[in-house]
Structure 1
Amino acid sequence: MKSTLFALAFGTSAITLTALLPAAAQAQQKIEVVANLTGAMPTGVTVAPNGRIFVNYPQWGDNSPFTVAELKGGNPVAYPDAAMNRADAEDAANHLISVQSVVADGANRLWVLDTGAPGFTAPIPGGAKLVAVDLATDKVVKTILLGADVVLPTSYVNDLRLDLRQGAGGVAYITDSSITGPGGLIVVDLATGKALRRLSGHPSTMPDKEFTPVIEGETLMIRPKDAAPAPWMVASDGIAISADGDTLYYCALSSRHFHAVPTALLRDPKVTDADIAEAIRDLGPKAPSDGLAEDDKGRLYAGDYEHGTIRRFTDGRWETIAEDPRILWPDTLSVGTDGYLYFTANQLHRQAGFHGGRDLRRPPYQLLRVRIDAGPVLLK
């Protein structure tokens, strides 16, 4: 019952947690393959409370025939239909352009975050938006366009969290992961569609200037075929929310820090960014990660793309719950009602842009999962 109530109020997939294993039984959790995905490289995943699984494919050059899909029999099928997945710049508000994140809520809807920015270009008019699909009918029930006051020409909206307890229809919190301009947070009233841009360019939403991650023995840098290498600087990316909805957690992709801020301040249009900045807490160093996730026990989850692990933050410290050579760039994470943490391993760091034009990815890409009701293990 607790998990059901949590899902309905919180707006994301929740889990029913069993007791932790005794210390003697704690061991590294086995990674399970949910699906092997050929074709384009996926990023996001979400698991609806009834177990339906959805993935998304931003249009980064793999020419995916769809940008949102439901897994059926382990295979991706365009969702909600093929027609909506046909990008149309002349009618961008009614078509999916390049989706970076999907999140199922506790009200039986799938929320789709469309960047409107294929290939990290400037968002096309009407392209950046939130789209809600009723999972009972598989029909679009709401579209919220994100205007120029919150989505800048340099913006790349990345991930979102929902809290259906706030206001008349709930609130969405979105990260802007710009690679050329200011990062930031966007707060959207789901009933009215009104949005606020928060902490634009604040140090907590920006990449660490001296960030130099090492993956598979190589420093991750942009390496064009005919140009000098350059640091890859990605702003605010991962996002999670506390079980009570009072705190938002976020981190830049190119960073070893993550931060917390009261959601009430973010939502209040009378509160200035300066006031919000005073309330930000730097929660200290962590392994660099792409996505974040949360459960109804108040614990946070993150991938560690340097070491191929999944980590959990509880009682003020990080612990490793899984390590496996198949965890090649853990991207988005989603907690399911079955007690598993689902995540994509998409080999993002092997793309041609990081290797002088040589695409080192080796499909299939994988959707993996790990049980999260057992104890941690130490890094090897």
Structure 2
Amino acid sequence: MNTLVKFIGVLILFAFEVSADTAANFDIIANLDSGPGNVTVMDNGRIIMSMHQFYQPKYTVVEYKDEMLVPFPNKELADADSKSELKLDSVLGIRSANGIVWMLDNGMRSGVTPKLVGWDTKADKLHQVILLPPSVAPKDAFVNDLAVDNRRNHIFISDPAGGTNAALIVVNLATGNARRVLEGHVSVIPELLDLVIDTVPVQVKDKSGKLLRPHIGVNPITEDLNNEWVYSGPMHGHSLYRIKADDLADEKLDAKALASRVERYSDKSISDGITIDKDNNIYLGELAENAIGVISADRKYRQLAQSPDLSWVDSFCFGTAGQLYAVVNRLHQSATLNGGVLKAKPPFYLIRVKALAAGLAGR
């Protein structure tokens, strides 16, 4: 009997130590009054965030500065007339490179045309606006996240759309041309997996009032630091895929040829945003377990951190000195994903994660 008691005690102690170790792998660096969307950290340390449209924020993009959130790029433009070319409606995806902050505006709050907006922080002026018309972003598009490829002067966008018509969007920044590719391919469409967090299923209410469990297509997307491979996968899916950036950027490849270049890379959890470090470790949220996971270069997945504070951890991005940032926004408790009932309450979090290796600021 004493042996059994000691054994149980060892198991409890081991479980506590594992929990304590994983909880120690991140720090909360800011409490936020409204739910964040995505985050990017510039190479000069500036922290820019989108604010999630599910929480109806006053400003869709902000800068975290002096422990406050201030409108980005500035209050005058943020308050501009809705007809302004720069007026930002519903930004989620946000990345930065070479002083340019790229903001992906899905336009869904006001029903306006989705667009990609680049703001030059060095010159403090508009850099580029690229509209994404219906031929590229159909009626049910939900352009969500992006990867910036400065080597090819391209941006790759994930669009989960309606699920079966999920796709990637390839934008040539030099020409402004945007193409919709891999629509309906196995690498972008969702699997029939329900997301359940803390025993509560994620549910949306349709127009008739019926509760449905959504299955969301391609969402997480990133590119390695050598600008060789683009990694992406359906949010509701247990597979991560990759394709060479050269192939995605090649306008001469037809749909069949491009599809043949996609390869399954690894297992993954149901996850939102991702990023990658210099050693090709890929970081992602394990939404169902309130956890952060990592896929190492040997393509094996493991948990890096787990805590009740990691309640829908999203949008990983490296900053300076190898620091890895992410946000916690509890989207499953928003009215949109909780059957019309708002359960989420502040504070939401900006966190810093202990990465296994350094990454590239802004990515």
Q: Shorter-normalised TM-score: what interval?
A: 0.7 to 0.9
1:46–1:55 CA contact under 8 A, matched in 2: yes
Is it true that 1:177 corresponds to 2:169 in the alignment?
A: no
1:65–1:86 CA contact under 8 A, matched in 2: no
Q: Match for residue 29 of structure 2?
A: 34
Q: CA RMSD in A?
A: 2.1
Q: Match for residue 6 of structure 1?
A: none
Q: Which of the pair has more CA radius of gyration?
A: 2
| TM-score, normalised relative to structure 2 | 0.87
| TM-score, normalised relative to structure 1 | 0.83
Q: Match for residue 260 of structure 2?
A: 278
Q: Match for residue 295 of structure 1?
A: 277
Q: Match for residue 146 of structure 2?
A: 160
| TM-superposed deviation, 1:84 | 2.5
The amino acid across from 2:134 in the alignment is: A
Q: Match for residue 39 of structure 2?
A: 45
| TM-superposed deviation, 1:219 | 2.3
The amino acid across from 2:25 in the alignment is: K
The amino acid across from 1:277 in the alignment is: A
Q: Match for residue 133 of structure 1?
A: 119
Matches within 5 A, 1:232-311: 232-311=214-293
| TM-superposed deviation, 1:41 | 1.7
Q: Match for residue 71 of structure 1?
A: 64
Q: Please, which of 319, 324, 332 is the counterpart of residue 341 of structure 1?
A: 324
Q: Deviations over 1:38-95 (max 9, x none)?
A: 0x321100111111101102433x332211100111211000122332475534x331
The amino acid across from 2:48 in the alignment is: F
The amino acid across from 2:70 in the alignment is: V
Q: 1: CA distance between counterparts of 2:136 and 2:80?
A: 22
Q: Match for residue 365 of structure 1?
A: 348
2:204–2:214 CA contact under 8 A, matched in 1: yes
Q: 1: CA distance between counterparts of 2:183 and 2:82?
A: 27
The amino acid across from 1:152 in the alignment is: P
Q: Match for residue 115 of structure 1?
A: 106
1:224–1:353 CA contact under 8 A, matched in 2: no
Q: 2: CA distance between counterparts of 1:33 and 1:95?
A: 31
Q: 2: CA distance between counterparts of 1:181 and 1:114?
A: 22
The amino acid across from 1:82 in the alignment is: K
Matches within 5 A, 1:310-329: 310-314=292-296, 315-329=298-312
1:301–1:312 CA contact under 8 A, matched in 2: yes
The amino acid across from 2:68 in the alignment is: N
Q: What is the SS of the residue equivalent to 1:259?
A: strand
| TM-superposed deviation, 1:161 | 0.7
1:292–1:301 CA contact under 8 A, matched in 2: yes
| TM-superposed deviation, 1:284 | 3.9
| TM-superposed deviation, 1:270 | 1.2
| TM-superposed deviation, 1:340 | 2.1
How many equivalent residue pairs?
336
Q: 1: CA distance between counterparts of 2:72 and 2:117?
A: 12
Q: Deviations over 1:136-168 (max 9, x none)?
A: 2332122222233211111111111111111xx
Q: What is the SS of the residue equivalent to 1:276?
A: helix
2:29–2:352 CA contact under 8 A, matched in 1: yes
Q: 2: CA distance between counterparts of 1:354 and 1:227?
A: 13
| TM-superposed deviation, 1:27 | 4.5
Q: 1:349 to 1:368 in 2, by over 3 A?
A: same
Q: 2: CA distance between counterparts of 1:177 and 1:161?
A: 15
Q: Match for residue 80 of structure 1?
A: 73
Q: Deviations over 1:234-281 (max 9, x none)?
A: 111000112221211101112222111122121111101211111211
| TM-superposed deviation, 1:130 | 1.5
User: Gaps (5+ residues) in structure 1?
Assistant: 1-25, 375-380
Q: 2: CA distance between counterparts of 1:65 and 1:222?
A: 23
User: Gaps (5+ residues) in structure 2?
Assistant: 1-19, 358-363
Q: Deviations over 1:83-135 (max 9, x none)?
A: 332475534x3311110111111x111111111222xx7x52xx322211122
Percent of paired sites with the same residue: 29
| TM-superposed deviation, 1:334 | 0.5
